[in-house]
Structure 1
Amino acid sequence: MDIHRCRFVDYTPHTITATAFSHSSSLTRPTTNDLRLAVGRSNGDIEIWNPKYNWTHELTFPGSRGRSIEGLCWSVSDEVGESPRLFSVGGSTYITEWDFHTLKPITNYDCNAGIIWSIAINSDGNKLAVGCDDGSVVIVDISGGFGSLEHDMICQRQDARILSIKWHENDLLVGGCADGRIRTWSAIGDTKGRIISTMRVDKSKTESTLVWSITILPKKRQIVSGDSTGSVKFWDLDHFALLQSFKVHEADILSLVNDINEEKIFSAGVDRKIHQFNLITSKNSSKWVHSFNRLLHSNDIRSMSIFESIGHNFLISGGVERSIVIQSIQQFHDGNYKKLLINQQKSNVIINETNNLIILWQDQEIKIWKLIPGSKHKLISKLKLSEDDNIVNVDINEQGNLLIVSSLNYVKVFILDSITKENKLNVSKIRDDSFTSLISGAKLVKFFSLTKFLILTYDEQIFTFTINIEDQTIQLDDEIELISSKTSSIGKLQYINVINNLIISPDGSKVVISRFNGSIEVYSLINQESSIITKLSSYPHIVKFSNNDKIVVLTDENKLYEFFINQQQSSNGLLTSWSKRNSEFLPQQFLTLDDKAQGIFIKEDRVWIYGSAWLAYFDLSINIPISKQYKNTSQTKKRNRDGLTINEETSSSTPTIDGNIDIVEENTDALELSLKQSQIDRLRQQIIQTDEEADVSTDKKPFWLTTKYRPIMKVDNFGLNEIIIVERPQFALPTTAAFNLPKLKI
């Protein structure tokens, strides 16, 4: 097997500008299944991460040119069945509420004030407050439900822009301003909207002081501020007097967060360090002390968020380094931490094996490289689109002469002509007005033959088209009627029924889709037949065709299954014989991987799976031995308990499948996914005895894993006995100058 290592694909993640958890912390209830983390980027994208099973990147709200996300907040209603709502601000006078089903804005509300710098939500979750650069605070009522934003009032203006804003419950607003002052506004009663107090922080001798961050401790009746001098100050919330001051940072403090008990404060900013302050309480008094600091970031920290519940506590931070850093609040000083940097669970790289092409898209740009024999590469095309929308998806046909590009508001088709003498690719756009008027945008585009392609719109409609290259036209062929997929589950996020995977069979005759609710469905592109293959209780993370009649499914728990598309093809049920025998006994080395799987591809009998720091394969023609070598002889923990992710321990170690599968309990070759643990243990022992009696020797390996390549962006077929690995080393990422911390030489 020849492995091509490719490091010239110059993908660069964007700066993290804002983070927010969907639910507030509570030490009296377990972590809700709906918990999500929203991460805003400087290119306008908003990523939705699920903290379960090593952090899954589920959705991305696409941004546009020049629209950085500067603030995020969620509204969670106490009403049964109400889903969390997400709001963002950034570089404009608008508040945007997002639709999780279509990934589009529901509402863009103009505050009729200056450019918004900060946003906060009150404790009841029915009012937003935004701080603007003209010195005004605008209160917006959101109690009307999804898409409803109504003007409440504009508070008393002052001259300085408001860099940070926080609510004290529902009756007081506290803002950090650009003139070195902290101001409070009343939000109720006769004084509603008026400035009721002003506090002044220390002034810098060389430049104006900016109060970048504010947090409020309602139980302790205190305000905490962080400013551009590097000072963390504690203020009395009743008398607005300074209580304590610490100057532990060497530069601007950009973010402050506190735990739910209000006994720990974390501060971070330009000097890259995160500092912890603890509250020491005695009989008659209490005071704050500076406890620890950690240097986990290589550049400015722009945002931090905290979530706590029974059994889980997370401190999330991100900034100019571009990585999401996850650590435990309780073990902050010396605990483990996890970095999510180049974690391409939503890949933006395509490999065209026929023409040796590698395609990368990012923001409004597409780059195409050609690998020339002799281990050389050449950039043969760079497309810069004039529209402001970020590119969402790209696909190229097998022949390499047609390229489709989609975004939130357009779908474009390009013809790639022969390469010129200068090793450049001629690119021309197909201009078909009827196609443009029919399709306004798509979140997924895929070729299923040389001239036929499929589009998944933001409204969850699937259309098929045919391209006529000679006439330069695009003809609508058909619309695939999707099976209605609804769930009665209460408290689920809006996108529980949304499609998260769409794949096309190698012969282009079938489409398989999976949804976040666990449903896997198959549709025929020939005769419009459709059926539900199965419904898993653990949703499918990645789905891939192993041949025209079978699919491989990797769940979010890292469990691998192979299904027949049509149960009638097999008398033994949905699962293939390999999956019945092996899916329950995958090596612990694979099940306990810390990095989430990013992709799957099939090569002969092998299923190749890769993450950002590992590459593995399973040979579907060989059973995995039940032995100590693979650590699958006894039931062990599915994940290391490092406190950096959420793991659900259930009575069965696998997701259940809806539908009846005829299983004979004594048959060791058949294993239903919903078996009890005692049955699994008994079958495991029978399989061990059977393997020992068979003692079949083979040169093939049933499983292989390496951590030699990192960070991995893409792995795919590249010939008969070749694969290609696209890597993006962290040291190669362009970066701005970081704060120069003093080095201690010992």
Structure 2
Amino acid sequence: MDIHRCRFVPFPPSPINALAFSHPHTRTNLQSNLCRLAVGRANGDIEIWNPLNGAWHQESVMRGGQDRSIDGLVWVVEPDEEMPTANPDSGHEKSVIPGRSRLFSIGYTSAVTEWDLEKGRPLRTASGQHGDIWCLAAQPPASAAAGGKGNKAGAAASAQQQQLQQGPADAVTRLVAGTIDGALAIYTIADSELRFQRLLIKSPARKTQMVSIAFQSRDVVVVGCSDSTLRAYDMRNGNLLRKMSLGSDLAGGSKEIIVWSVKCLPNGDIVSGDSTGHVTIWDGKTYTQMQRIQSHRQDVLSLSASADGSAILSGGMDRRTVLHKRMPGPVGRWGKVWSRKYHDHDVKTMASFESSKMSVVVSGGPDASPIVLPLKELGRENHRTLPNLPQQPPLQSAAKARLIMGWWNQEVHIWKLRQPFDGLYNNTNGNVTSEDLDKNRKLLKTILIKGESNIASASISPDGDVLAVATSTDVKAFYLEHNNPSKPSDIKVAPIQVPPSLAAVGARLVQISPDGAWLVVVQAGNKISLVRLGRDDSGARTLSRPQPITRMKRKTPKNLIVGGLGTYDRTIVHVSFAPDSRMLAVADLAGYIDTWVLRGAESEGEGDRDDASSAASEESSSDSDDDDDDDDGADEAREKWHHTPASTLLPKLPAPPVVLSFSNDIPSGDSSDYTLLAITTSWHILAFHPLEGALTPWSRRNPVARLPTTIRDTRDLAKGVIWQGPRVWVHGVSFLFMLDLSQDLSEPNAGGASSSAVVQAGRKRKRRGAESGAGNRMTIGAIAPQQVDRFTSDKKEWQLDIENAAPPSSEGSDTDMVDRDDDDDDDDDDDGESGEESNVEGTQGGRSAGGELAAMRNRDTRMDGRSGSGRKRWWYTYKYRPILGVVPLGTPGATSEDSKANAGGDLLPVEAVLVERPIWDVDLPERYGTNDER
């Protein structure tokens, strides 16, 4: 495969301002399955992540808009309910309706916003007569009231109130917001509403700002302020229970201390982090200071605690994450036991999650990457950095026109690569300079989408003349007129009128078919519409009336629909057209796949047929008139999309899908069928024949246990695929894999041990399921090459462990767009491989900084990657990272005849563009830290 290695496509990741788990501590498997992590970013986007026992899948992104920011997130989970059985004497257990999960956000304005997870957009907004909101917290349910002053009275009042109500659904009905003008505002969320209720208190001194907030019990709220104090208020009447003072800052510092973060432990004790770098422990009964620890060299911005209150983590401006634990002894004092720099910037926010299988803390900040730390196993397990790049690549190509389109926020950028891969190297005799690379690319157009909403999805036709853009509020289409197709000149952009039923509602996904004749639109609420692209009498592009299509009904437990996340798991996340544009497939988060086929009116009366040849013949008869301007209406009347009968036979995927793609083979005979590939979060690689509703023979013979261990143990998820005949090139944020679907994989563990089975320090590496959900188990006696501080006793004896780090891998010296490493050392190992892979193949043997791990990877490739005939069954590389996306150029793939003709020889070459976004290209805000930090 010929790869253009590009780093000029812009995608600036947005800083993380807020993190929140819907179920911080789960007691049942049902609650664990419903737990989601919300990540709020500075550009207004909210990402929803599913922990998946350590797989960490970014399920969806709810887009923000211009001048919007997410600065606080709060989940409200209503109490579970029991559904009565029809026959109480039957002995069957009562089914549980999980409490409904609701997500609220603030953004340094005077408004609180509730989000619709199913539709992916704001549901309702409320504001009151107060200043900008700086902090937000949800009142805990009555059953969770514990600890703190006034708990007995609060518990009695809560119990009496719950008895008067019909059920526990209204146990959590209020939000409390702290404002910049020193007020506490109450918002009610009872009866599925959100409205401002009243001001609980209003500080007479307007210079006092409410910076952080946490509930000690249902009736006691603790607020961290900007005037060196913490205040505890009674929620029932607004009385000030106690004012806790931190005093003045040290000499030379500010007169007032800002309490950036406050947390309440299960026993009622209060923990605060302030601008002096101290973590302070307060007695929850007397509201007196128990201990003050100098944990950081600069401000403490975030706090997190374990569910049992035995551990506290703090993050600060000094980039450090510090673990505090109770020291043994009757006094029960706290001490620092671990300190390390995981971030490149401030540690602004933290959130913890504990279940029977996971115990982690997720932190984030301006460096835009969420970092997962083991909570109970901190110091014994490695951390894991989640990608700051989206799971769905904001990247697409117009292969025939050699255009690359990328989008972010409200901008669309269209680039062109002038010369093909071989032409570029042939014209320069293989000596490609940076000047040649600069000349080979051109930015044709930057389109700014009007409106306030960020782009949710975009698509460009293969010939590059139609562009569709969707936001949460509208859908827009543009005609891109190329002045001179032979030269990369500027593009004239003209709007295309979109039907009002689409334009005024917005959409989650848009996709243009490979022949440029259809546009599929997935709107909020998972409504699917197909629109034919045509031309009017003047030659201008037009969109016809939308043709709605429906999905198959699935049996979903009623208790999950009524409560929990509702129908969120039926959210469509993947859309794919067949290469001839005669079939459409969609997949949702639950793992259900639906397919439709395009048929003419004459075939409707023949019933639901699974004959691909008839569909192909209808295509030849109907598409013959596509070039006639006057026949678009006739084509529309003749052809309609029908649900494929065999779609009901497609099994539910064993895990959420991350890739859905048709192969490039077009059915040509009565016995042929399309090939639809699905890859899940658990690395099930499943190929289907959608017209038959069955797995392909390759998938039946090659279950997930036969996949190479290198692929199965990859923690990053797949993001997309490119087809090359029977070969499928799978890419993620850190890898590029190849699987040949025309060859069976070797038996499990055949060919020797792989990297996951290597015995280190006398023990086999612990498997994924036994880990806490962060990184791998640390090797005994080895610590990652970073500075680690350990606090060993109350005498403040510090042990500083510093290991000499290996030089970082260069990842290739290219900083531009084309990469072709011709390494002759691997020629003897290719055994008949076609030369199109030489640009990435040569990097495996020549990596200078891979060390033992790189040698292990190379050994695994050579032992397990070849069949008896010498052709590789699979191949991989980690040279390219981080990968934003990979898109094809030129004519993608080959027809089924071409694939069969080349099955025993060289495959047709494939040209692709691989877009990287290195971390050093991320623009970080200025840090307040000193340059001489250790």
Say if 2:266 and 2:308, in contact at 8 Å, map to a contact too.
Answer: no
Question: Which residue identity is paired with 1:264?
Answer: A
Aligned position for 1:516: 589
Aligned position for 2:201: 155
Aligned position for 1:358: 404
1:194 aligns to 2:239 (yes or no): yes
- The correspondence for 1:644, drawn from 747, 757, 773, is 773
Q: Distance in 2 between matches of 1:567 and 1:431?
A: 38
Q: Distance in 2 between matches of 1:14 and 1:78?
A: 34
Aligned position for 1:166: 214
User: Is there any run of 5+ residues in structure 2 with no aligned partner, and where?
Assistant: 81-96, 142-171, 425-436, 600-639, 667-673, 758-764, 777-865, 891-908
Q: Distance in 1 between matches of 2:302 and 2:574?
A: 36
Q: Return the offset for 1:433.
A: 7.0
1:290 aligns to 2:407 (yes or no): no
Say if 1:366 and 1:383, in contact at 8 Å, map to a contact too.
Answer: yes
Q: Return the offset for 1:454.
A: 1.5
Map residues 334-483 of structure 1 onto 2, 5 A cutoff. Answer: 335-373=381-419, 374=424, 375=437, 376-418=440-482, 424-430=489-495, 432=497, 434-435=499-500, 439-448=504-513, 449-469=515-535, 470-471=539-540, 473-483=542-552
Say if 2:475 and 2:503, in contact at 8 Å, map to a contact too.
Answer: no
Q: Distance in 2 between matches of 1:436 and 1:513?
A: 21
Range with bigger deviation, 340-349 or 62-71: 340-349
TM-score w.r.t. the length of structure 1 is 0.87
Q: Distance in 2 between matches of 1:28 and 1:254?
A: 32
SS in 2 for 1:506: coil
Question: Which residue identity is paired with 2:361?
Answer: L
What do you get for the CA RMSD once the two structures are aligned?
2.7
Say if 2:125 and 2:194, in contact at 8 Å, map to a contact too.
Answer: no
Q: Return the offset for 1:710.
A: 0.8
Aligned position for 2:189: 142
CA separation of 1:576 and 1:472: change in aligned 2, threshold 3 A: closer
Say if 1:312 and 1:646, in contact at 8 Å, map to a contact too.
Answer: no
Q: Distance in 2 between matches of 1:359 and 1:711?
A: 18
Q: Return the offset for 1:223.
A: 1.5
CA separation of 1:426 and 1:78: change in aligned 2, threshold 3 A: same
Aligned position for 2:15: 15
1:697 aligns to 2:868 (yes or no): yes
Q: Return the offset for 1:24.
A: 2.8
Aligned position for 1:716: 887
Q: Distance in 1 between matches of 2:272 and 2:400?
A: 59
Structure 1, residues 71-107: CA drift from partner, whole Å, max 9, x if none?
1111112222433111111122111111111112221
Structure 1, residues 390-435: CA drift from partner, whole Å, max 9, x if none?
0111100011011111101111111212257995523323253754
Say if 1:210 and 1:227, in contact at 8 Å, map to a contact too.
Answer: yes
Q: Return the offset for 1:501.
A: 1.5
Aligned position for 1:668: none
Question: Which residue identity is paired with 1:359?
Answer: M
Say if 2:475 and 2:498, in contact at 8 Å, map to a contact too.
Answer: no
- The correspondence for 1:316, drawn from 354, 357, 362, is 362
SS in 2 for 1:517: coil
CA separation of 1:502 and 1:638: change in aligned 2, threshold 3 A: farther
Q: Return the offset for 1:472.
A: 5.2
Say if 2:381 and 2:774, in contact at 8 Å, map to a contact too.
Answer: no
Q: Distance in 2 between matches of 1:646 and 1:498?
A: 29
Question: Which residue identity is paired with 1:497?
Answer: R
Question: Which residue identity is paired with 1:493?
Answer: L
Aligned position for 1:564: 689
- The correspondence for 1:276, drawn from 319, 323, 328, is 323
Range with bigger deviation, 587-596 or 125-134: 125-134
CA separation of 1:224 and 1:59: change in aligned 2, threshold 3 A: same
Say if 1:612 and 1:713, in contact at 8 Å, map to a contact too.
Answer: yes
Q: Return the offset for 1:617.
A: 1.2
Aligned position for 1:678: none
Aligned position for 2:750: 628
Q: Distance in 2 between matches of 1:423 and 1:372?
A: 7
Range with bigger deviation, 429-438 or 317-326: 429-438
SS in 1 for 2:710: helix
Aligned position for 1:237: 284
TM-score w.r.t. the length of structure 2 is 0.70
Say if 1:416 and 1:425, in contact at 8 Å, map to a contact too.
Answer: no
Structure 1, residues 90-139: CA drift from partner, whole Å, max 9, x if none?
12211111111111222112233211111111221332111111211112
Question: Which residue identity is paired with 2:69?
Answer: S
Range with bigger deviation, 520-529 or 32-41: 520-529
Q: Return the offset for 1:152.
A: 5.5
Question: Which residue identity is paired with 1:524?
Answer: V
CA separation of 1:236 and 1:640: change in aligned 2, threshold 3 A: closer
Aligned position for 1:76: 77
1:528 aligns to 2:529 (yes or no): no
CA separation of 1:638 and 1:250: change in aligned 2, threshold 3 A: closer
CA separation of 1:555 and 1:500: change in aligned 2, threshold 3 A: same
Q: Distance in 1 between matches of 2:296 and 2:231?
A: 23
Say if 1:342 and 1:612, in contact at 8 Å, map to a contact too.
Answer: no
Aligned position for 1:41: 41
Question: Which residue identity is paired with 1:458?
Answer: A
Q: Distance in 2 between matches of 1:576 and 1:29?
A: 33
State the number of aligned residues: 687
Greater strand share, structure number = 1
Q: Distance in 1 between matches of 2:913 and 2:202?
A: 61
Say if 1:619 and 1:703, in contact at 8 Å, map to a contact too.
Answer: yes
Structure 1, residues 537-562: CA drift from partner, whole Å, max 9, x if none?
42322211124512011122111011
Say if 2:259 and 2:274, in contact at 8 Å, map to a contact too.
Answer: yes
CA separation of 1:614 and 1:116: change in aligned 2, threshold 3 A: same
1:496 aligns to 2:565 (yes or no): no
Q: Return the offset for 1:591.
A: 0.8
SS in 2 for 1:487: coil
Q: Distance in 1 between matches of 2:492 and 2:57?
A: 36
Q: Distance in 2 between matches of 1:33 and 1:736?
A: 36
Q: Which structure would you say has the larger Rg?
A: 2
CA separation of 1:607 and 1:170: change in aligned 2, threshold 3 A: same
Q: Return the offset for 1:738.
A: 3.0
Greater helix share, structure number = 2
Q: Distance in 2 between matches of 1:4 and 1:215?
A: 50
Structure 1, residues 594-638: CA drift from partner, whole Å, max 9, x if none?
211111222211111111111001101111122523769x99997
